[in-house]
């Protein structure tokens, strides 16, 4: 949920990896929305709150039983060892308001598995957006789940054309989210 499009909303951002949480803290402090974003350094599955959310968004880890890389932060981000999808969807179902929405992005095969898990806890796909990195390269799916979905709307988004240039569709979707001046982030990384 974009803070610029929904100015009355607040966000609880949950991050388990300390290095990523540190970068997120920096990003939040340098954001015009810093007063409405709370960073919680925790494992989502162990995050204990009675609060139920109108919207939950996740880009969860998706590799299972694959060789891991040397960088532990990267492993946490992409390997489903600390956040398996079954436990995640059960937790989402408990934390989501009855009329709430859960958005998730995953590779297509993993998304099909998540859809089955979600349906078992009463969350159905309201929309599926197939993301193509290039024509003919189905890269990821973004699914909006809800408990009230009846029909599933299907969409496609092409990010780059045949020559590798970003599409007009990509620019329309993402331009509001790009920072004008990224030099502040470059200084922080030095």
- pLDDT in the model for residue 162: 94
Taking the CB of residue 39, how many other CB atoms lie within 10 A of it? 17
The token pair at 136 is 């003919």
Q: DSSP of 20-76, one letter per residue?
A: HHHHHHHHHHTSTTGGGEEEEES-GGG---S--EEEEEE----B-S-PPPS-HHHHH
pLDDT of residue 7: 75
Length of the chain: 190
pLDDT mean for each 10 residues of the chain (190 residues): 68 93 93 92 93 95 58 46 83 96 95 96 97 93 95 95 92 73 50
Cα gap 22→41, rounded to integer Å: 9
pLDDT of residue 76: 43
Contact 166, 160 (CB under 8 A): yes
Global confidence as pTM: 0.80
């Amino acid at each position: 949920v974009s803070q610029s499009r929904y100015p009355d909303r607040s966000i609880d951002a949950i991050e388990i990896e300390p290095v990523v949480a540190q970068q997120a803290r920096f990003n939040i402090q340098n954001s015009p929305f810093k007063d409405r974003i709370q960073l919680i350094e925790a494992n989502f599955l162990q995050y204990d709150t009675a609060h139920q959310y109108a919207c939950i968004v996740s880009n969860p880890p998706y590799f299972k039983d694959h060789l891991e890389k040397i960088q532990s932060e990267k492993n946490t981000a992409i390997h489903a060892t600390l956040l398996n999808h079954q436990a995640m969807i059960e937790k989402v179902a408990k934390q989501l308001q009855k009329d709430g929405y859960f958005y998730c992005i995953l590779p297509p095969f993993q998304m099909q598995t998540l859809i089955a898990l979600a349906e078992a806890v009463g969350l159905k796909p309201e929309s599926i957006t197939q993301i193509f990195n290039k024509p003919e390269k189905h890269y990821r799916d973004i699914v909006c789940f809800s408990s009230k979905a009846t029909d599933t709307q299907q969409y496609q988004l092409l990010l780059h054309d045949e020559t590798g240039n970003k599409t007009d569709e990509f620019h329309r979707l993402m331009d509001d989210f790009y920072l004008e001046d990224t030099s502040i982030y470059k200084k922080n990384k030095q």
